[in-house]
Amino acid sequence: MSPEPSAGSALTGFVVEDRDGTRLLTITIPGIVVRILTIVPVVTALGVLHLVAPETPWWPSLVLVLLAVISAEVPDSGAGLVTLAGLVSWWLLAVPEDTVWWALLVATCGLVFHVALAHAAAGPPGATPTWAVVRQLAGRCGLVLLVTTGLAVVVEVAEEWGEPPAVLVGITLALIGILPWLAARRTG
Amino acid sequence: MTGWQPTYAHLRAVVVGLTVLVVGVVIGRADAVVIAAPLVLVTLWSARRPDTEPRAVTPLTALTVNEGEEVTWEATIEGLPPGGVATVVHPAQKLLEVEPAEGLVVAAGADGPGPGSAVAQIGLRPLRWGRRRLGDPAVAAYDGWYSWRWGPVPLDGMRMTVLPVTAPLDDAAPAPHPRGLVGMERAARPGEGTEFNKVRPFGVGDRLRRIHWPVSARTGRLHVTATYSDEDAHVAVLIDAVNDVGESTGIDGDKSSMDLAVRAAAVLAQHFLHRGDRVGIRVFGAWRVTMVPASSGLLQLRRILDTLCLIEPGTARGEDALAARQGLGAGTLALMLSPLIDRAATQQVAILNRAGIDVVVIDTLPSGMEEETGTTPDALAWRIRMLQRRVETTQLASLGIPVVPWAGAHSLDQVLRDLSRRRSTPRLVVR
């Protein structure tokens, strides 16, 4: 096989090496983006929490942000689980009543945090995904959020009407039932 | 047994998703159910362990490239689960640029020739000549939600031979002592060639097409056009690899004395071989390589470049200074590439000069190395050595040996012209 020019010849990162070639620091654009997508959703969810429940103390939120930063640095560890569990627990403790639409936003943040962290753990933190990978992840997340939004609509309607109508229950069950088929169709 | 293992992401989705869902249902919090829903869906979507068996192969195991040339290393991963991805990481190495530096994540299908396969292309750019074995790349495969991991498995690292760059030398000056049978140098003696010598009377054996008809008609006797024969020269490139002075940061950065010597040797070899001359190299101070006998042709250029790649400076010391003369006769053009730090180099130059060999010393000390202003013992020792070096180069110049700093392809032009002019001057040599 003969050498040929690389397809991705544009530099995607900044590397600092010592005299022996050992990397001291590597900053890549995908690495920065993944870290932002790990920390910002947690900060956003905590912002929503303090908007909904303004009188709650700040220190647990600061701890959670710190945990998110740690998770971003060591994505292939249990730090992400602790952060996500802590975020949801803090939400359930701090927000007394059901707020479905705010909860939908928090659910979106949780999903983005989870997926970004999972992607960061798939290799070195600055690994560059191709556009096909990004499109695929975005499509899957969109589908999941679509189903979650459907669920939130059902919950909201059920809360307003007291008793959920049979049609909505049927639609919800159909959505849940259709999901494996959709997944199999998309991936197959 | 399959190599797929659950990841922390799977654990996170399962534990947080299902726990929050159960808690929400138990305490009657609809918002908890909504928050848990995406994680539960992800858990359900990736609940099944993939049953494929990925395979990763790379077709490249050895490659020869030039310094600064960018090449693509490729790995093909097959047997990925539907919607799966693969992460491919090529390790970094000193004086090797890897792009993307931190690895590449490719998707099955979209980034591959067919479903379940992906091709990862990583750019490699070696910055310095030499022969090296690159580190082992690693490949890991994941399902679509990064819930299951296969690997990482190492692939075979590549053996890379990096040839020094051969910038074209635009040098029209002839070699001073053409001696061989073929070539494009004008020999000192008449014979079959192209360059005009004189018109002389016809002799036995002269070709009829050489008859000069105007002179023959004017004089009444047949005259022919005589030419100088075209011959080649024997060029010996001598490389002082006893020391490597200065720091090398690759082809785009600072150059050490060995960088300058190797690249200059490559340029000179290419230049003289393209002219049809016979070129050989001899290396002092490197353990694995000593010499390439003189020959001509493009194959010889490749042989020389391959040999230059093997030089490891400072691995052999204490060689006999007389070894420089072996195989070199009077009339050979010897080009000595040296930073002139070790006294043995100066000694060898003197021995060659006494044997009637035209020697040109090409100074490969990197610019700025002579100026040392520190007051530490090391700095003072270096300054003393630089003063001694200056005296030695002056002595060489007094012996008629030109010392030319290597400043690119044009460094030798005037020197070779001077040597060609000087060759007609008689001188005493030791036989």
pLDDT digits (tens, 9 = 90+) for B246-303: 888 888 888 888 888 888 888 888 888 887 788 888 888 777 667 788 888 888 888 8
Omega cis (within 30) before A41? no
Joined tokens for residue B212 = 């000069």
Tokens 């070639």 map to which residue? A21
Joined tokens for residue B266 = 């490559």
Identify the pLDDT of residue A10: 40
Q: How far apart are CA B413 and CA B402, in angstroms?
A: 12
What is the number of other CB atoms lying within 10 angstroms of the CB of residue B110? 16
Residue B430's Cβ-count burial label (10 Å; 0-12, 13-18, 19+) is exposed
Beta bridge partners of B153: B139
Identify the pLDDT of residue B52: 87
Identify the pLDDT of residue B395: 84
Tell me the residue type at A141.
Answer: C
Give SS3 for B123. Answer: strand
DSSP class of B178: B
Query: Are the C-beta atoms of residues B292 and B280 closer than 8 Å to each other?
Result: yes
A146 at interface of B, judged by CB pairs closer than 8 A: no
Query: Are the C-beta atoms of residues B164 and B131 closer than 8 Å to each other?
Result: no
Q: Long-range pairs for B382-385 at CB < 8 Å and ≥24 separation?
A: B385/B341
Cβ <8 Å between B33 and A110: no
Q: How far apart are CA A97 and CA A53, in angstroms?
A: 10
Phi, psi (rounded to 5 degrees) for A88: -65, -40
* pLDDT in 10s for each residue of chain A, 188 residues: 333 333 333 455 676 766 666 667 777 888 889 999 999 999 999 999 999 888 889 899 999 999 999 999 999 888 999 999 999 999 998 888 778 889 899 999 999 999 999 999 988 878 889 999 999 999 999 999 999 998 888 877 777 766 655 665 666 667 666 766 766 665 55
Give per-residue pLDDT as tens, B24-34: 877 878 888 88
Identify the pLDDT of residue A5: 35
Q: If you average pLDDT over every residue of chain B, what do you get?
A: 80
Residues of B in contact with A75 (CB under 8 A): 8
Nearest CA among B28, B41, B42, B12 for reference residue A92: B28
Identify the pLDDT of residue B419: 66
Q: Kindly state the average pLDDT of the residues B334-349.
A: 83
Residues of B in contact with A7 (CB under 8 A): 72, 121, 123
Q: How far apart are CA A28 and CA A36, in angstroms?
A: 12
Q: How far apart are CA B50 and CA B5, in angstroms?
A: 10
- Closest residue of chain B to A129, computed from CA coordinates: B105
Residues of A in contact with B114 (CB under 8 A): none
H helix and E strand count, chain B:
8, 20
Phi, psi (rounded to 5 degrees) for A9: -80, -15
Nearest to B105 among A85, A129, A144 (CB): A129
What is the number of other CB atoms lying within 10 angstroms of the CB of residue A139? 13
Q: At residue B392, does pLDDT exceed 70?
A: yes
Query: Are the C-beta atoms of residues B60 and B158 closer than 8 Å to each other?
Result: yes
Phi, psi (rounded to 5 degrees) for B382: -65, -40
Which of A78-82, A132-136, B14-18, B341-345 is predicted least confidently? B341-345
B8 at interface of A, judged by CB pairs closer than 8 A: yes
The nearest CA of chain B is from the CA of A70 a distance in Å of 15
Q: Could you give the dihedral angle defined by the CA atoms of residues B186, B187, B190 and B196, in that order, rounded to the nearest 10 degrees?
A: 10
Cβ <8 Å between A6 and B37: no
Q: At residue B158, does pLDDT exceed 80?
A: yes
Cβ <8 Å between B34 and A100: yes
The nearest CA of chain A is from the CA of B271 a distance in Å of 25
Joined tokens for residue B224 = 């022919």
Residue B173 pLDDT class (50, 70, 90 cuts): low
The pTM of this model reads 0.73
Q: At residue B324, does pLDDT exceed 70?
A: no
Beta bridge partners of B361: B336, B403
Identify the structural domains of chain B with CATH numbers, from first to last.
Answer: 4-45 (no CATH), 55-162 (2.60.40.10), 185-231 (no CATH), 234-422 (3.40.50)
Which of B123-132, B215-224, B279-288, B384-393 is predicted least confidently? B279-288
Joined tokens for residue A23 = 């990397």
Residues 106-135 of A with CB under 8 A from B: 106-108, 110-111, 114-115, 117-119, 121-130, 132-133, 135
Q: How far apart are CA B142 and CA B152, in angstroms?
A: 10
Helix (H) or strand (E) holding B390: helix B377-398
Identify the pLDDT of residue A3: 37
Identify the pLDDT of residue B1: 44
The nearest CA of chain A is from the CA of B315 a distance in Å of 19
Give SS3 for A178. Answer: helix
Give per-residue pLDDT as tens, B67-78: 888 888 888 888
B40-58: buried (b, 16+ CB within 10 Å) or exposed (e) per residue?
A: bbbbebbeeebebebebeb
- Closest residue of chain B to A24, computed from CA coordinates: B92
Query: Are the C-beta atoms of residues B103 and B123 closer than 8 Å to each other?
Result: no
Tokens 């020739």 map to which residue? B113
Task: Look at B35 and B358; give whichever has higher pLDDT.
Answer: B35
The nearest CA of chain A is from the CA of B169 a distance in Å of 26
Residues 102-161 of B with CB under 8 A from A: 102-107, 109-111, 121-124, 140, 142, 144-147, 149
Phi-psi region of A108 (alpha: psi -120 to 50; beta: other; left: phi over 0): alpha
Cβ <8 Å between A107 and B38: yes
Nearest to B94 among A4, A20, A145 (CB): A20
Nearest to A148 among B37, B104, B124 (CB): B37
A24 at interface of B, judged by CB pairs closer than 8 A: no
A6 at interface of B, judged by CB pairs closer than 8 A: yes
Give per-residue pLDDT as tens, B80-113: 888 889 999 888 778 888 888 788 888 887 777 7
Task: Look at B320 and B153; give whichever has higher pLDDT.
Answer: B153
Query: Are the C-beta atoms of residues B38 and A145 closer than 8 Å to each other?
Result: yes
B32 at interface of A, judged by CB pairs closer than 8 A: yes
Identify the pLDDT of residue B346: 82
Kindly indicate whether the ipTM for this predicted assembly is greater than 0.90, answering yes or no: no
Identify the pLDDT of residue A65: 94
Beta bridge partners of B126: B96
Residues of B in contact with A105 (CB under 8 A): none
Q: How far apart are CA A127 and CA A121, in angstroms?
A: 10
